């Protein structure tokens, strides 16, 4: 946090965060800044308001963030030029060194029916990227059969660890898992929203393995097809599928003999099956394993590992 987050915050906010207890800092997930409202943090799945006196749950007891303070954060984030980051702002976020994502809201500027940029920024969400080495240790033995990796779908509600699991699967498959008799695989990641590898200027900031290629910031369906044509992957990884074009690209990859590992939002397999695209893929046998996650016993709780 001190290396990547503090440089984009004014001194007042840096001092408040630096005063947090080590346990809170270790579990810190988000820092939310809203004009004329108190600063909020999310740690360990719980939110709290932040002030010079510490943290608490009552927003009326904490000072309100001024417009000047938020504008200062925007200046630091963009190095004084929103125009230079116009392409990123179309997606509503900026990626920082270290793979941390900064979401922004305010007034949208529309051009040709599409969002061109965001102005009069009124809210910022700094989402800290945390890599959990070994997150896939528990599930990986169930995803390998006959010395090969099975086509796998990871299901979970938001903020339950599916991207963290996906990232560690990429890392371990890329390195190889000698204990499971699995040599290193050529891995390709279609990382539409810079969440899996946490790329900054195209370079992964998180460890996704030595045999892994990442196509960052490209729509996942198009990205998957580019990777299939150009990088000859053995394993293709992507996050949050659901659109018809995503399903078509995944089916194409499976037909090419490439192992696909993907994620989808949902609480269970039955819920995911109600979506036409996912129902189609499951009916076609696109996946042989399903991993279901929750936060019931903390982020990344493995509820089920299903064989299809």
Q: Of 103, 127, 151, which one is at a domain's C-terminal end?
A: 127
Give the chain's mean pLDDT. 91
Predicted pLDDT of residue 129: 82
Please check the confidence at residue 27 and state whether its pLDDT lies above 90.
no
Q: Average pLDDT for residues 131-159, to the nearest whole number?
A: 93
Residue 37 CB neighbour total at 10 angstroms: 15
Predicted pLDDT of residue 84: 62
159: domain CATH number is 3.40.50.300
Which 3 state secondary structure label does DSSP give 39?
Answer: strand
DSSP string, 24-64: HHHHEEEEEEETTS-EEEEETTEEEEEETTEEES-GGGSPP
Report d(CA 175, CA 164) in Å as an integer: 17
Q: Of 105, 127, 149, which one is at a domain's C-terminal end?
A: 127
In a domain, 262, yes or no: yes
pTM of the shown model: 0.81
Please check the confidence at residue 81 and state whether its pLDDT lies above 80.
no
Q: Same domain, yes or no, for 82 and 61?
A: yes
Domain that holds residue 249: 140-307
**What tokens appear for 87 in the block?**
């392409």
Whether the Cβ atoms of residue 102 and residue 133 lie closer than 8 Å to each other = no
In a domain, 1, yes or no: no
**Which of 4-18, 92-106, 130-144, 234-248 is the least confident region?**
92-106
Q: Same domain, yes or no, for 150 and 257?
A: yes
Please check the confidence at residue 174 and state whether its pLDDT lies above 90.
yes
42: domain CATH number is 3.30.450.90
In a domain, 42, yes or no: yes
User: What's the total number of domains in the chain?
Assistant: 2
Q: What are the respective helix, strand and coil percentages of the chain, to the nearest 5? A: 30, 30, 35
Report d(CA 175, CA 182) in Å as an integer: 9
In a domain, 297, yes or no: yes
Whether the Cβ atoms of residue 164 and residue 198 lie closer than 8 Å to each other = no
Whether the Cβ atoms of residue 110 and residue 104 lie closer than 8 Å to each other = no
């Amino acid at each position: 946090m001190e290396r990547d987050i503090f440089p984009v915050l004014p001194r007042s906010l840096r001092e408040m965060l630096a005063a947090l207890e080590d346990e809170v800092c270790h579990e810190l997930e988000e820092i939310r800044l809203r004009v004329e409202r108190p600063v909020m943090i999310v740690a360990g799945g719980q939110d709290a308001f932040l002030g010079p006196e510490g943290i608490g749950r009552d927003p009326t007891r904490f000072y309100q963030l001024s417009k000047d303070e938020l504008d200062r954060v925007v200046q630091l984030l963009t190095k004084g030029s929103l125009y230079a980051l116009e392409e990123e702002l179309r997606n509503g976020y900026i990626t920082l060194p270290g793979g941390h994502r900064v979401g922004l809201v305010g007034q949208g500027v529309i051009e040709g029916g599409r969002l061109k940029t965001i102005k009069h920024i009124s809210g910022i969400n700094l989402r800290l990227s945390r890599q959990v080495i070994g997150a896939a240790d528990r599930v990986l033995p169930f995803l390998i059969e006959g010395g090969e990796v099975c086509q796998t779908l990871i299901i979970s509600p938001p903020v339950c660890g599916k991207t963290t699991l996906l990232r560690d699967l990429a890392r371990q498959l890329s390195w190889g898992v000698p204990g499971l008799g699995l040599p290193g695989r050529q891995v390709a990641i279609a990382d539409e929203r810079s969440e899996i590898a946490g790329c900054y200027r195209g370079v992964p900031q998180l460890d996704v393995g030595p045999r892994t290629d990442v196509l960052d910031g490209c729509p996942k369906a198009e990205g998957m097809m580019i990777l299939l044509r150009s990088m000859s992957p053995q394993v293709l990884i992507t996050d949050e599928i659901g659109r018809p074009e995503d399903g078509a690209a995944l089916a194409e990859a499976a037909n090419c003999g490439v192992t696909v590992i993907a994620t989808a939002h949902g609480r269970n397999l039955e819920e995911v099956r109600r979506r036409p695209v996912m129902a189609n893929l499951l009916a076609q046998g696109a996946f042989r394993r399903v991993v279901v996650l929750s936060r019931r016993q903390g982020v990344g709780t493995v509820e089920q590992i299903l064989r299809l």
